[in-house]
Structure 1
Amino acid sequence: MNEYDWMAERFEAHRGHLRAVAYRMLGSVSEADDAVQEAWLKLTRADTSDVTNLGGWLTTVVGRVCLDMLRTRRARREEPLGVHVPEPIISRADGPDPEQEALLADSVGLALLVVLEQLAPAERLAFVLHDTFAVPFEEIGPILGRSPAAAKQLASRARRRVRGAEPMSDGDLAGQRAVVEAFLAAARGGDIEALLAVLDPDVVARPDKGPAVRGARTLATNAVTYSRMGRAAVLALVNGVPGLVASDGERVTSVMAFTIRGGKVTALDILVDPDRLARLDISPLGQ
């Protein structure tokens, strides 16, 4: 085995971990793969003879690449209307494949990623690397060009914002699925009262295009109208939890991720941007 092949083999051993780091940082599988590829190119050009922990070295490289990508995204002021709904990972309702499971470890639900999107790039990096992947602040600080103490403060600030955000879904996946199935059946049947039964009175729907919709009755009316327009929907796992993927018969028109607390839908994060939907891998659903 020559040196290049040996290096490639070592890199492949860390690829899954690096993709998981990048996905939490960027909220996009395609961008995460770009960041990992950039890390590989940097590895091929670097002198790593003194590197004793290649996994740690690659993690910091991916962190720097993702930080630059987040700053560029913010400078371009993407998604001026609505929230920036991350690109979800779509799986069959009976469960994700092993590669998807690796990306979704540690409960990286879409609701959490939406909260992470609201953090400043430096806060997001400090929080993700330290709280999710246990990277010490002594290594995070240099990535940010700050002291370890300053990096710790950024992570602490991000942690407070994450904890203060809307609660995540209940952990009972079977219960969540039952609520989503009831929502879908009521929407298909045009049953406003049945929809109201599964919606929290203060439910909010957050599309990535346009303003948020608040209130159970408004959302129920919209859901029935959407269903009557011929948007067929199927149950799927959206970042590991029950959600819906809708289509008009020719293309996917939306992906809906549910936040469910106490048997009620408290929030819906909805991806409707056709360009971003086109980048999703929906092959697990047979599309």
Structure 2
Amino acid sequence: MLEFERHRPRLFALAYRMLGSAAEAEDAVQETYLRWHGTDQTEIRNIEAWLTTVLVNQCRTWLDSARARRETYVGPWLPEPVPTGHGELGPLESAEQRDLVSMAFLALAERLSPTERAVFVLREAFGYAHREIADMLGITESNAQQVYRRAAHRVQEEKPRFDTAPAHARELVEKFLGAAQSGDIAALESMFSADIVAVADGGSKVNAAKRPIVGVSQVARYLLGLFGRIPSFGADVSIVVEEVNAAPAFVVRSGETVLGTVSVGFTGESIASLHLVVNPDKLAYFQRDDQKFADETAG
């Protein structure tokens, strides 16, 4: 048990990057633990490699079935937001590490096949050699290299470049929040890139835009409409800028209940994308992390 717990944070970080779902990542880690518990551990020569192999292949299987589920999902599907201010997803010190857990990248990664996603995540986020990846996935080393090149090409072609430094990005997000709260549509529009897109995920639980909102004036009007509804949630509603998926984001709460997150993607000084998650099922991990941090602080 203690040996497995030592690997749990890394396994969760890997599963989340593979699945884009914190809840499913926790389930994948638990499934890996059950396999570990039911195996003769004295026969395992490399524990990290064994656990990683079991986990990543579990995630590949789940991604196959997830594709079918997401075809019937109500409205756009977005990854589950994860607070990262306390090391929840491991080291995120470089721009590349932050990019690989951004909402924009995780949404893009849905377009990769399960094997492409596994190879890319293992190589880019965790630094495994192609030989190691091939052994984990049951493919040849040359095949692993080919899959990696194909996945990297797709990601490079389609991935937005969010090249704003974290400290400056926070300043811009706070400025953006101030404009939205004050209803300053001109200020909002001046911060947007010409091709800005806003995507909202409410699933079947919360009313949200069923299609992406595109364009400066359309997104500005959409946001002001959302902020105009906030007082209806009560006097205890708060909107705070916090680190979510390694970038500044709005977190909306009513008392201690998380109502939604708004992740902001930048290109230079301009806001290029907004990802709004209001489906309560997708906020459950965030809510538990809130409570865990509160308990640790109180203790």
**TM-score range normalised by the length of the shorter chain:** 0.7 to 0.9
Rate the CA distance shift 1:173–1:66 in 2: closer, same or farther, 3 A. same
* Between 16-25 and 167-176, the greater mean CA deviation after superposition: 167-176
Partner of 2:86: 97
Q: After superposition, what is the alpha-carbon deviation per residue over 1:97-132, rounded to whole angstroms, capped at 9, x for unaligned?
A: 24x252756212222211112211111111111222
Would you say 1:13 and 2:1 are equivalent positions? no
Would you say 1:265 and 2:271 are equivalent positions? yes
How big is the shift at 1:146?
3.3
Q: How many residues align?
A: 275
Q: RMSD of the alignment, in Å?
A: 2.5
How big is the shift at 1:57?
1.2
* Between 142-151 and 128-137, the greater mean CA deviation after superposition: 142-151
Would you say 1:125 and 2:118 are equivalent positions? yes
| Selected match of 1:255 from 261, 268, 271 | 261
Rate the CA distance shift 1:155–1:114 in 2: closer, same or farther, 3 A. same
Structure 2: how far apart are the matches of 1:82 and 1:158? 26
How big is the shift at 1:194?
0.5
Given that residues 112 and 168 in structure 1 are in contact (C-alpha distance below 8 angstroms), is that contact kept between their aligned partners in structure 2? no
Partner of 1:238: 244
1:204-243 alignment to 2 at 5 Å?
204-209=197-202, 210-230=210-230, 233-243=239-249
| Selected match of 1:177 from 170, 173, 191 | 170
How big is the shift at 1:77?
3.4
SS of residue matched to 2:36? helix
Rate the CA distance shift 1:152–1:81 in 2: closer, same or farther, 3 A. farther
| Selected match of 1:27 from 15, 20, 25 | 20
Q: After superposition, what is the alpha-carbon deviation per residue over 1:237-274, rounded to whole angstroms, capped at 9, x for unaligned?
A: 11121111224668533211111121110011121223
* Between 240-249 and 15-24, the greater mean CA deviation after superposition: 240-249
Partner of 1:69: 62
Q: After superposition, what is the alpha-carbon deviation per residue over 1:79-111, rounded to whole angstroms, capped at 9, x for unaligned?
A: 6454421111125xxxx124x252756212222
Rate the CA distance shift 1:81–1:162 in 2: closer, same or farther, 3 A. farther
Rate the CA distance shift 1:75–1:226 in 2: closer, same or farther, 3 A. closer
SS of residue matched to 1:65? helix
Structure 2: how far apart are the matches of 1:32 and 1:77? 17
Would you say 1:283 and 2:276 are equivalent positions? no
SS of residue matched to 2:264? strand
* Between 196-205 and 250-259, the greater mean CA deviation after superposition: 250-259
User: Which sections of structure 1, spanning at least 5 residues, go unmatched?
Assistant: 1-7
Structure 1: how far apart are the matches of 2:284 and 2:82? 13
* Between 38-47 and 76-85, the greater mean CA deviation after superposition: 76-85
* Between 124-133 and 135-144, the greater mean CA deviation after superposition: 135-144
**Match of 1:72, as an amino acid?**
S
Given that residues 130 and 137 in structure 1 are in contact (C-alpha distance below 8 angstroms), is that contact kept between their aligned partners in structure 2? yes
Q: After superposition, what is the alpha-carbon deviation per residue over 1:50-92, rounded to whole angstroms, capped at 9, x for unaligned?
A: 432211111111111111111121133356454421111125x
SS of residue matched to 1:77? helix
Partner of 1:5: none
Structure 2: how far apart are the matches of 1:242 and 1:150? 38
Would you say 1:202 and 2:218 are equivalent positions? no
SS of residue matched to 2:230? coil
Partner of 1:86: 79
State TM-score, norm by structure 2: 0.83
How big is the shift at 1:141?
3.4
Q: After superposition, what is the alpha-carbon deviation per residue over 1:157-208, rounded to whole angstroms, capped at 9, x for unaligned?
A: 1111111124232241121111111111111111110101111121111223
